Amino acid sequence: MGSYRFFEEYNQPVTDDLKEHYKGILERIGEDTSREGILNTPERASKAIQFLTSGNSQDPAEILKSAMFSEDYNDMVIIKDIELYSLCEHHMLPFFGKAHIAYIPNGHIVGLSKIPRVVDVFARRLQVQERLTHDILECINTTLNPLGVAVVIEASHMCMMMRGVQKQNSTTTTSGFRGQFEKIETRNEFLKLIASNLS
């Protein structure tokens, strides 16, 4: 057995309280909470919602600050195709897709894994895509103080696909740009690179 072990830790009183609420919801929609398939669902749902909203208790700026390094590099750094999964705050249904992020360092670079972690922190909150885009953009811009930062998010929303207008093939794209990326030539270079296959 290896030395590494992944585990999730939950606040037991919160888990128990949420479990009772989920049990009540299931009963009110007509489910038999004593049947085998549903018996443990309230506890699983309780743990799932805590995980999916765990970004509320995390500070994304601190994540970036933990891996900032002085470096004389001032060309574009792009991390693209970052998977993201979030919950729409209007219906608490998932939306999911990819984030593409770039920044131009201004004396400091950041460990590459920290950018996707920042995405996860903001995505693991009840969100709307527009605010998610803005939150990621402003966190990177304020913490790293780069010469420029760009964020593009492409996502599909289950609230549109499963209910309401029921448009299964629609996607939503949001974007934000600061600093050098407000210049059309820099922005176009970024958009061209995230659309291309460099392999």
Show which residues are catalytic.
Answer: 88-91, 129, 157, 159
Q: Six-digit token pair at 160? A: 């549109």
Neighbours of 129 (CB within 10 A): 20
Note whether 184 and 150 are within 8 A (CB).
Answer: no
C-beta pairs of 14-21 under 8 Å, 24+ apart in sequence:
14/46, 14/50, 15/43, 15/46, 15/47, 15/50, 16/46, 18/42, 18/45, 18/46, 18/49, 18/50, 19/43, 19/45, 19/46
**Residue that has been written with the tokens 């296959």 in this structure:** 197
